[in-house]
Structure 1
Amino acid sequence: MTQRQDPHSLEARIHEHYDALPPAEKRLGDLLLSFPGDIATYSAGELAQAAGTSRAAASRFFQRLGYRDFNEARQQAREAKRWGSPVYLSSASPSGGQPGSTQASQPIADHLAQERDNLTLTLESIRPDRLRDAVDALAHARRVHVAGFRNSHMLASYLQRQLQIVRPDVALLPRAGQTLAEDLVDIAEGDVLVMVGMRRRVALVSRILEIARRQGARTLLLTDPSAAEPTQNATWAFVCEVRSQSLFDSYSAAMSVMNLLCSSLFHHELHQGQERLKRIETLHDDLEELDALSWLTQRNSGTTTS
């Protein structure tokens, strides 16, 4: 089945007019159909050069598609990139090159620089007092609920497992095979809901935050800079940069924030956290669940072989 397109998107407009395009404009159309995100990065002149056409032809091309000018089309593409559309995040050129060029890139260095920027911008944006308040709420909550959808579900699952090491009564939503209502009904005053909502969020993110707030819970939202409406329903919102050198979002900054939350929570309730960890490790040992523990037991009893 062919995926339906927004009738006002760049690709849909090109397809609608494609057969009637003059050859010079059709070359530009072909370039943008392959990598529509390039329009957000490069000038009209650079795109025209890459397509082997003139700036005048490029100007006529965008007006033929119904845009006032090139800048209107570029703004639309930038919004699509900001929202995280993989079609618009991909590019015909390596980092730093011209559209359609084969200029060599430095993938490791470029990736490292972007990751460093993401971590710096994310962690420097978190106010220490807001972090303390959120950690205190997580420590004293009756119950903690962690939710996420699509890629954010993977992050939420990781966070729930780490929080569960430090404190009891941490649930992941939605549970497998369940609809949301059965889980949301138990959220109440004294609880904390942690919502992981990275870009390309589902509409349920805002609705769940609102329901949790209405039922008396405090809410912590881990999101990215594209968020607007969801942050209005959150008690605390920590914004994580997700930009990368490719069409795949980077979640290293989000993982770092989750690590910060969990380690801060552990030190906030140090005695309780240590006692819980000891009990967990004792159960690991009793069940012989982990190879490393089995190896350690054998070594201590003198039964290991080299």
Structure 2
Amino acid sequence: MTDMRLDERIARHRSELSPQERRAADTLLAHLDDLATYRAAELADLAGVSKATMSRLFRSLGFAGFDEVRDHLRTLRSAGLPQRVDGTPDMEAIAANEAAHVAAAVSQPRIGEAIEWLAKAERVLILGWRGSFSVALQMRHQLVQARNHVTLGPFPGQAVGEEIASLRPGDVLVLYGFRRRPRTFGALLERAASTGAKIILIADPTALPHVPLVDLWLECQVETTLAFDSYSAPSTLTSVIADGVLSTLGSAAHDRVSRIAGAYQEIGEVE
């Protein structure tokens, strides 16, 4: 049962719980997103049960006590599940943490290689899933201003295999692979590596097992003390890379920017 989430444990053992323990369990479920911000006594008060009942519930669910519940929630958070594990957020500490993550992301020595590959590639394919897709979309939006033949995926209903099958030597695949990746991520990388295209992986440290399959890895931290991951570091790194490609391509890129701006104006697409 150690691999089961708290809500799964409650569902599994609900029929075995006393009426008071079920009331306590319902309170845990109602506060699952910020459970670790409470003390055990506060949870007991919220449920209208005794502290002893709350303690019995924890033991019935496989925990020695509320400290183990907190550790369990921190483990879930480190795996990417939205969980509040601290009290009132310290905004100054959060801002400092974000700044440190951004600084680390944009100071990596191999960024220049990534820029050169993306500037010279025949075609660029950018892939991202779940939270990673928003940064992948940013990369496509910015990179397509500087060069042509930039493709993004996967969109709803799109099979990634179709895109991977089109890769060949001279192309570059940019993979955004932050935690809670799809189960097929490793197999996709193996297939992409066999095409001869260069592979750039932009991901947090949980992607380390996949690094041997790629040509270049750029690390970005996304973990915060908040319930959700932050993509400020990946977003800033993406802008730095796109800016570098624009600069590397020089007049060709600036001519493209002018043509795009002219197209916007002619069809009245943007203000």
Instruction: Provide the TM-score with structure 2 as the length reference.
Output: 0.80
What's the offset of the Cα at 1:149?
1.9
Unaligned runs of 5+ in 2: none
Structure 2 Cα separation of the partners of residues 10 and 182 of structure 1: 39
Alignment partner, residue 80 of structure 2: 84
Task: Determine whether 1:289 maps to 2:268.
Answer: yes
Out of 265-274 and 252-261, give the one that drifted further: 265-274
Structure 2 Cα separation of the partners of residues 231 and 123 of structure 1: 22
Alignment partner, residue 100 of structure 1: none
Alignment partner, residue 8 of structure 2: 12
Q: In 2, are the aligned partners of 1:146 and 1:170 still within 8 Å (CA)?
A: yes
Alignment partner, residue 32 of structure 1: 28
Out of 258-267 and 150-159, give the one that drifted further: 150-159
Alignment partner, residue 51 of structure 1: 44
- 1:123-162 CA-partner distances (Å, limit 9, x unpaired): 3145442111111111112211101122322322221121
* Map 1:85-234 → 2, pairs under 5 A: 85-86=81-82, 89-90=83-84, 96-97=87-88, 110=91, 113-174=93-154, 177-234=157-214
**Structure 1 residues 7 and 175 mapped into 2: Cα distance closer, same or farther (>3 Å)?**
closer
**Structure 1 residues 174 and 23 mapped into 2: Cα distance closer, same or farther (>3 Å)?**
closer
**Structure 1 residues 119 and 225 mapped into 2: Cα distance closer, same or farther (>3 Å)?**
farther
Q: How many residues align?
A: 267
Aligned identity (percent) is: 30
What's the offset of the Cα at 1:22?
5.2
Which of 52, 57, 64 aligns to 2:60? It is 64
Q: Secondary structure at the match of 1:32?
A: helix
Q: In 1, are the aligned partners of 2:123 and 2:172 still within 8 Å (CA)?
A: yes
Q: In 1, are the aligned partners of 2:105 and 2:234 still within 8 Å (CA)?
A: no
- 1:272-299 CA-partner distances (Å, limit 9, x unpaired): 32222223233334x243454xxxxxxx
Structure 2 Cα separation of the partners of residues 167 and 196 of structure 1: 20
Instruction: Provide the TM-score with structure 1 as the length reference.
Output: 0.72
- 1:75-108 CA-partner distances (Å, limit 9, x unpaired): 432221122223xx157xxx635xxxxxxx7xxx
Alignment partner, residue 245 of structure 2: 265
Unaligned runs of 5+ in 1: 1-5, 98-104, 293-306
Structure 2 Cα separation of the partners of residues 220 and 65 of structure 1: 43
Which letter maps to 1:152?
S
Out of 125-134 and 242-251, give the one that drifted further: 242-251
What's the offset of the Cα at 1:244?
5.1
Alignment partner, residue 298 of structure 1: none
What's the offset of the Cα at 1:176?
6.2
**Structure 1 residues 62 and 227 mapped into 2: Cα distance closer, same or farther (>3 Å)?**
farther
Structure 1 Cα separation of the partners of residues 95 and 167 of structure 2: 36
Alignment partner, residue 279 of structure 1: 259
**Structure 1 residues 242 and 264 mapped into 2: Cα distance closer, same or farther (>3 Å)?**
same
Out of 135-144 and 72-81, give the one that drifted further: 72-81
Task: Tell me which structure has the larger Cα radius of gyration.
Answer: 1
**Structure 1 residues 129 and 28 mapped into 2: Cα distance closer, same or farther (>3 Å)?**
same
